[in-house]
Chain A
Amino acid sequence: MNAIASGLKQAVRERPWVWGGTLTGFVVVYYLGLLATMLVRFGNIPNYVTVYNWPRNVWHILTSTPSLSDAVGIVSEEWLLEIGYMNYDYGNGISEWAMNVIPPKLFIILIVAALVASFVVLLMRPKKSACAAGPRTNAVAASVSGGAALVGLSSATLSWVVCCATPTWVVSLAMMGMSTSLALWLEPLGDVMTVGGFLLLVIPVCLLARRRTVPAGDGSATFSTQTA
C-alpha cells in the first residue's frame, strides 16, 4: 500500500500541472459533454439556468428529517445547478430537459477525474529515473477508459419531462433511444456499474503506481501478467 501511495505521490509531484489540468478538464468536459448530448439529441439551446442554495437546503433536510438514513438519501438528490431548455409553446413553459449538477455525483466525478489524471501522470516516464519496460498501454488505457465511462454513465444527472423529470442516469439511456421500460428496469444496476467502473479505474492506477517504486524489470513483468 505504501508503495502505491508513494509511487502515486511521486508521479503527481513531478507533474502537478498535468494532473490538475487533466482533473479539471475531465470534469468540465464531462458536464459539457452531457449538455452537448442533450443539445444534439433535442436540437435546442439551453435557455435557463437556476442556481440552488445547496448548503441551506442540505441543512434544512438534515434538521427536519427524523431518520438520518432517510436524510442522507434525500440530500444525495439535492441540486446545486440546473441548466435546461424551457418550452414555451404551450402554457407558461415546461422544462423539457435539464442537466443538473448534484454535489454527491459531482464528488464521484471528481474522484474519477483524479484517477484518470493519476493514470495520465503515471503513464509518463519518471523524470528522475529511466523505466526499462513500458506497460501494455492499450490494455490499461482501455481499462481506465471503460471504468471512467461506466462511472460517468451511472453518474449522469439528466432530467427529461417524459421520465417524470427526475434526474437519473437511465434518462440518458432513454434519451439515446432505449425503451423507457427497459431503461428504468436497468436503474438498480447503476450501483453495480459504479463499483465495477471504479475497479477498472483503481486497479491499473494502483499497478502503475506500484511499478514506479519497483526496480525496472521486476514490477513491469508483474504488471504485464496481471493486466494482459
Chain B
Amino acid sequence: MCTDTYTAGIIVKELGLLDQQLAELAKTEKYKDATFNVRWADYSSGGPITNQMLANKLNIGVMGDYPLIVNGAKFQETESLRTLYVAGTGYNLKGSGNAVVVPVSSSIYKFEELRGKEISVPVGSAAWGMTLKALQDAGIPSSEITIKNQSPAVGAANIATSKIDAHADFCPWSELMEFRGTGRKIYDGSETTIPYLHGVVVRQELAREYPEVVIAFLKAVIDAGDWVREDPMRAAENLEKWTGVEKEVQYLYFSKGGHLTLEPTIKEKWVDALKFNHGVLAREQQVPPLDFNEWITDTYIRAAYKEKSLDYEKDLADIYDPEVENADLPLEIWHAKDGIKTYATIGEFLKAVAEFRTVAQKLNATYVYDKATGLKLFGKMAFYVQGKDGAMTAFLRKQDADAYAGTIGGKVIGFEEAVGMTTG
C-alpha cells in the first residue's frame, strides 16, 4: 500500500525484475545448480513483516523508517538473529509523504488551530512520529490535544464524514483523501524537516551465505526505479492496476518533481533521521536499543551499483531538494484522452483548465508546485495568490499564501476562483 515501497516490491514482482537477475545468477558457477523459489508477501504494515522475518519465512523486508527501526531493534534483541539495512527505496528530503489532513469543509487551516481538538493517527507509524514532532515544534502540550489511535482506512473514513477534527497519516493516504475530495492538508511532513524514507532489510544469514542474491535483489530495485523514471504515466497506470490506488495519486509520487525520489543509496542524513526516529520510539514505545553501526551496511548496494556500472558516489552525494529542483518545472494537466500536458506558468495552466472545461473535456488531475517548499500538489487543493499584475502563485498552506499575499499586496483565492478569473 505504501507508495515508497513499490520499487522494491510490487514493481519488482510484476515486471519480473528479480527473476531476470536470478536467471543471470544461475549462469554463474556458484548458482548453476540452484533452484530459486521466490515467494512474495504483502502486508499493511511493518510489524507482521518483522514477525515473518523472525520466523525465517521472509528473508527480505521492505518498509518505512519507523517499522525498519523496530525490525532492526527486535532482531538485535535476540541472541542469534540479525537483520541488515542494505538499501533505501525512496525518500523525500523534507519529510513529505506524511501529512495532517482535516475534513475539506473544516475551518481549520493551521496546525496550531488543533489546540483543544481531536486528532487521530496510526500510533507507531512515521505519521505518528511526525505528529509528535509537530506538536513539539508548535509548543502544544499533550494536555491540550487529544490524540486518538486510528487506522488509515478508518481515519480516512472519519475525515470523509467529519467525525474527527484531523487525521495524520503516511503516504499515500493524505493525497488519496485530497484526490477524492474528502480531506485537505493543513500540515505537511516537510515542515518537520526530518527526511521520510523507506528501505530494505535482509536477514543476516541470507546476506552472508548468498550475498549475490541480495545484490541481485538490489539490482532489481535499481531497475524498478529506472522503469518508473522512464515513463511515470505508464508507471502510475500500471501501479493503479497492481495496487488499487488511483493513478493520479501515484503520479503525484512518481512523476518528475513528485514526492518521492527513487534512489537507493544510504546517505548520512538518512542514518541521522533513523537515529532521531529511534529516539522517538524508545521514549514512547520502549523499543530495544539499536546498534546502527552493526545494522546498516552499504556493502551490498555499492556492489549492485558496481555490477551495473553506475556511480554510487555520485548518487550518494546527490540529494534532491524539491525547493530547488522543482522551481522551474512545468505545471501539468492530466487530460483523460491526451495524457499529460505541460504549462510554463500558472496563468497558462489555469487558462487551459478553463478552456478544457468550456468544451467539457475530462481532466483526470492537475498538478502545481508549492512556492514555499517546491512540493508537487493537486491543482484543485492549492491556494493561489494573485498579484497586482495578475500573476498567480500556488501554495500548499493557506498561512503561506496569506503571508506571501501580505508581502506583495496580493489576494488569496481558491482553485475555482482562480480558474474563473482566467475567463474573465
The answer to whether B151 and A96 touch across the interface, beta carbons within 8 angstroms, is yes
User: With A and B bound together, what is the CA distance between A67 and B362 in angstroms?
Assistant: 61
**Is residue A222 within 8 Å, beta carbon to beta carbon, of the partner chain?**
no
**Is residue B319 within 8 Å, beta carbon to beta carbon, of the partner chain?**
no
Taking the closest CB of chain B, its distance from the CB of A88, in whole angstroms, is 8
Q: Whose C-beta in chain A lies nearest to the C-beta of B155?
A: A162
Q: Whose C-beta in chain B lies nearest to the C-beta of A64?
A: B56
> Given the interface contacts A65-B81, A90-B244, A184-B286, does A95 sit within 8 Å of B44 by beta carbon?
yes
Interface residues in A63-87 (C-beta closer than 8 Å to B): 64-67, 69-70, 73-74, 77-78, 87
The answer to whether A94 and B123 touch across the interface, beta carbons within 8 angstroms, is no
The answer to whether B243 and A92 touch across the interface, beta carbons within 8 angstroms, is yes
Interface residues in A145-174 (C-beta closer than 8 Å to B): 160-166, 174
| CB < 8 Å neighbour of A67 from B78, B154, B157, B245 | B78
Q: Whose C-beta in chain A lies nearest to the C-beta of B51?
A: A77
| CB < 8 Å neighbour of B147 from A67, A90, A179 | A179
**Is residue B55 within 8 Å, beta carbon to beta carbon, of the partner chain?**
yes
User: With A and B bound together, what is the CA distance between A163 and B51 in angstroms?
Assistant: 14
| CB < 8 Å neighbour of A74 from B54, B125, B157, B243 | B54
Instruction: For B417, list chain A residues within 8 Å (CB).
Output: none
User: With A and B bound together, what is the CA distance between A151 and B238 in angstroms?
Assistant: 49
Most buried by B among A42, A78, A166, A174: A166
| CB < 8 Å neighbour of B78 from A57, A73, A91, A180 | A73
Instruction: For A94, list chain B residues within 8 Å (CB).
Output: 1, 44, 151-153
**Is residue A60 within 8 Å, beta carbon to beta carbon, of the partner chain?**
yes
Q: Whose C-beta in chain B lies nearest to the C-beta of A78?
A: B55
The answer to whether B56 and A90 touch across the interface, beta carbons within 8 angstroms, is no
The answer to whether B47 and A165 touch across the interface, beta carbons within 8 angstroms, is yes
Residue tally, chain B, CB below 8 Å to A: 40
The answer to whether A163 and B244 touch across the interface, beta carbons within 8 angstroms, is no
The answer to whether A161 and B44 touch across the interface, beta carbons within 8 angstroms, is yes
Instruction: For B56, list chain A residues within 8 Å (CB).
Output: 60-61, 64-65
Instruction: For A92, list chain B residues within 8 Å (CB).
Output: 1, 42, 243-244
The answer to whether B157 and A89 touch across the interface, beta carbons within 8 angstroms, is yes
Interface residues in B32-48 (C-beta closer than 8 Å to A): 42-48
Q: Interface extent on A, as a size class?
A: 35 or more
**Is residue A138 within 8 Å, beta carbon to beta carbon, of the partner chain?**
no
| CB < 8 Å neighbour of A91 from B46, B54, B244, B285 | B244
The answer to whether A166 and B80 touch across the interface, beta carbons within 8 angstroms, is no
Taking the closest CB of chain B, its distance from the CB of A223, in whole angstroms, is 42
| CB < 8 Å neighbour of A89 from B78, B80, B153 | B153
User: With A and B bound together, what is the CA distance between A91 and B44 in angstroms?
Assistant: 10
Instruction: For A129, list chain B residues within 8 Å (CB).
Output: none
**Is residue B57 within 8 Å, beta carbon to beta carbon, of the partner chain?**
yes
| CB < 8 Å neighbour of B151 from A78, A162, A179 | A162
> Given the interface contacts A89-B156, A95-B44, A161-B45, does A70 sit within 8 Å of B79 by beta carbon?
yes
| CB < 8 Å neighbour of A174 from B43, B67, B149, B284 | B149
The answer to whether B151 and A90 touch across the interface, beta carbons within 8 angstroms, is no
The answer to whether B151 and A166 touch across the interface, beta carbons within 8 angstroms, is no
**Is residue B252 within 8 Å, beta carbon to beta carbon, of the partner chain?**
no
**Is residue B150 within 8 Å, beta carbon to beta carbon, of the partner chain?**
yes
The answer to whether B153 and A87 touch across the interface, beta carbons within 8 angstroms, is yes
**Is residue B122 within 8 Å, beta carbon to beta carbon, of the partner chain?**
yes
Interface residues in A89-125 (C-beta closer than 8 Å to B): 89-97
The answer to whether B151 and A160 touch across the interface, beta carbons within 8 angstroms, is yes
Instruction: For A95, list chain B residues within 8 Å (CB).
Output: 44
Instruction: For A67, list chain B residues within 8 Å (CB).
Output: 78-81
**Is residue B124 within 8 Å, beta carbon to beta carbon, of the partner chain?**
yes
Q: Whose C-beta in chain A lies nearest to the C-beta of B284?
A: A181
User: With A and B bound together, what is the CA distance between A185 and B123 in angstroms?
Assistant: 13
> Given the interface contacts A78-B55, A91-B1, does A180 sit within 8 Å of B80 by beta carbon?
no
Taking the closest CB of chain B, its distance from the CB of A133, in whole angstroms, is 50
Instruction: For A162, list chain B residues within 8 Å (CB).
Output: 122-124, 149-151, 154
A sample of 10 more A-B contacts (CB under 8 A), given A60-B56, A67-B80, A162-B124, is A60-B57, A61-B55, A67-B81, A69-B79, A89-B157, A90-B245, A94-B1, A95-B44, A174-B123, A179-B147
10 pairs of A and B residues whose beta carbons are closest in the complex: A164-B47, A67-B80, A66-B80, A180-B123, A91-B244, A166-B47, A94-B44, A67-B79, A87-B153, A161-B151
Interface residues of B (CB under 8 A from A): 1, 42-48, 51, 54-57, 67, 70, 78-81, 122-125, 147, 149-154, 156-157, 173, 176, 243-245, 284-286
